[in-house]
Amino acid sequence: MPRAFLIVIDSVGIGGAPDADQFFNGQLPDTGANTVGHIARDVGLNVPTLAALGLGAAVKLACGEAPAGLDVTPTGAWGAATEISRGKDTPSGHWELAGVPVPWDWHVFPDTDPAFPPELTALICELAGTEGILGNRHASGTAVLDEEGEAHLRTGWPICYTSADSVLQIAAHEEAFGLERLIKLCHDLAPTVHDMRVGRVIARPFLGEVGNFKRTANRKDFAIAPPSPTICDYVHDAGRTVHAVGKIGDIFSMRGIDDLRKGRDAALMEHIHDLADAAVDGAFVFANLVEFDSEYGHRRDAAGYRDHLQWFDGELAALLPKLKPDDLLIVTADHGNDPTWAGTDHTRERVPVLVHGLGARALGQLQFVDVAATVAAHLNVPYAGQGKSFL
């Protein structure tokens, strides 16, 4: 039986979203944002494997112009996918790629100080066993450690913050506050936050001293469960093995998932290589590589983003020869995060759909849900979700 590999390179958008004018970074609409295109324009981009799969052609399809250095004739199948969910966040993008567009509007906390309603703040304090919280505003996850880390170590209060996404993040020192205590706080808070239609509560542990705080790899997302079956459920229910790599287990609340592997992106790529060697016939490997987004997009680090793309390109070149003749590999993204753009939030963009295993083919304009339908068709499992297979 054939296998399917779906790798989401988090936030690697290609511009051209038709509704970008309805999404904002501060007061600036996302119109014209183009993660791949602007990285190539501003700092250069050398990704021969992705280019051969059709990355440049996908950018051109999305927004009308191929970036310098990527305008090559593809040897893979390629297209550009448009999202219909009313969010430019991780759950929206992943759910829709898995066949389930978000059927509601997410709740977003206001960009005010304080950002959280008093009753929610009181609940956090009760669950944390503290007299108050720090932060309570829209903030960059790294900047807020510099701004509130000293007070956190002094008071023991958790650092709570949000963004333009539907999310509540809680940062705490792994040793001073306790990692298990932080995870339990987020776990116990999540049902109340989910009832508000807030997509995720994220535990953001860190270590270090004042002036040198570093987030650790022990992040944990508590995401609201998808409202209907996803591609993971359909594959699992057909008796196949579903391997989740990275944040996938958190995003889908471990539903329909048999095996979970976590770590930083370099370790996650090792897991993907191992699964290419060892995963049984009929398996589905669903991976998310988050550091494009978390380390470089939000921090508006175009050079770092470029370097990470080039690192992934090398890893992809090593992965492709390991795939079996009847394997399908899809590389895509969940939203954009243009590191040359204003602000620090995601950008509303189309995403590439790059496919190894179909030969050279133009797939055209796609919907996110077409990815799930294609995985189901390739694995020959029953599927009642949305989308149209491009096989």
Q: Is 110 part of a structural domain of the chain?
A: no
Nearest C-alpha neighbor of 12 from the set 352, 356, 366 = 352
Are residues 243 and 139 part of one domain?
A: no
CB 338 within 8 A of CB 62: no
Which residue stretches of 130-264 are H helix? 143-155, 179-195, 231-237, 248-251
CATH number of the domain residue 28 falls in: 3.40.720.10
Are residues 188 and 131 part of one domain?
A: yes
Residue 221 marked in a binding site = no
Are residues 270 and 189 part of one domain?
A: no
CA distance 211 to 268: 29
Q: Is 127 part of a structural domain of the chain?
A: yes
User: What pLDDT is recorded for position 156?
Assistant: 98
Domain enclosing residue 209, as ranges: 118-223
**Long-range Cβ contact pairs of 151-155 (< 8 A, separation 24 or more):** 152/176, 152/177, 153/210, 155/130
Q: Is 108 part of a structural domain of the chain?
A: no
Are residues 326 and 251 part of one domain?
A: yes
For 204, the 3-state DSSP assignment is: strand
Q: Residue 124, class by beta-carbon neighbours within 10 Å (0-12 exposed, 13-18 middle, 19+ buried)?
A: buried
Chain segment 209-265, per-residue pLDDT in tens:
999 999 998 999 999 999 999 999 999 999 999 999 999 999 999 999 999 999 999
Q: In which element (H, E) is residue 307 found? A: helix 302-319
Are residues 371 and 269 part of one domain?
A: yes
Chain segment 280-334, per-residue pLDDT in tens:
999 999 999 999 999 999 999 999 999 999 999 999 999 999 999 999 999 999 9
Residues 6+ apart with CB under 8 A from 244: 232, 252, 254, 257, 259, 260, 261, 286, 287
Are residues 178 and 90 part of one domain?
A: no
Cis peptide before 114 (omega within 30 of 0): yes
Tokens 């809680």 map to which residue?
A: 170
CA distance 164 to 24: 8
CA distance 350 to 111: 26
Are residues 204 and 157 part of one domain?
A: yes
Q: Is 391 part of a structural domain of the chain?
A: no
Q: Is 189 part of a structural domain of the chain?
A: yes
Are residues 176 and 98 part of one domain?
A: no
Count of domains forming the chain? 2
Are residues 144 and 50 part of one domain?
A: no
Residue 10 marked in a binding site = yes
CB 53 within 8 A of CB 331: yes
Which residue stretches of 100-245 are H helix? 118-128, 143-155, 179-195, 231-237
Which is it for the CA torsion 30, 32, 37, 43, positive or negative?
Answer: negative
Are residues 155 and 273 part of one domain?
A: no
CB 203 within 8 A of CB 220: yes
Domain boundary among the residues 223, 253, 281 is at 223
Nearest C-alpha neighbor of 96 from the set 367, 369, 353 = 369
User: What pLDDT is recorded for position 251?
Assistant: 94
Residues of the chain with pLDDT below 50 are: none
CB 330 within 8 A of CB 355: yes
Residue 271 marked in a binding site = no
Domain boundary among the residues 196, 223, 250 is at 223
Residue 298 marked in a binding site = yes
CA distance 12 to 31: 16
Are residues 279 and 164 part of one domain?
A: no
Domain boundary among the residues 167, 189, 223 is at 223
User: What pLDDT is recorded for position 369?
Assistant: 98
Q: Is 388 part of a structural domain of the chain?
A: no
User: What pLDDT is recorded for position 164?
Assistant: 86
Which is it for the CA torsion 237, 241, 245, 250, positive or negative?
Answer: positive
Q: Is 33 part of a structural domain of the chain?
A: yes
CA distance 183 to 172: 10
CATH number of the domain residue 158 falls in: 3.30.70.1250
Q: What is the dihedral of CA 33, 10, 169, 155, to 10 degrees?
A: -100
Q: Is 386 part of a structural domain of the chain?
A: no
Are residues 144 and 81 part of one domain?
A: no
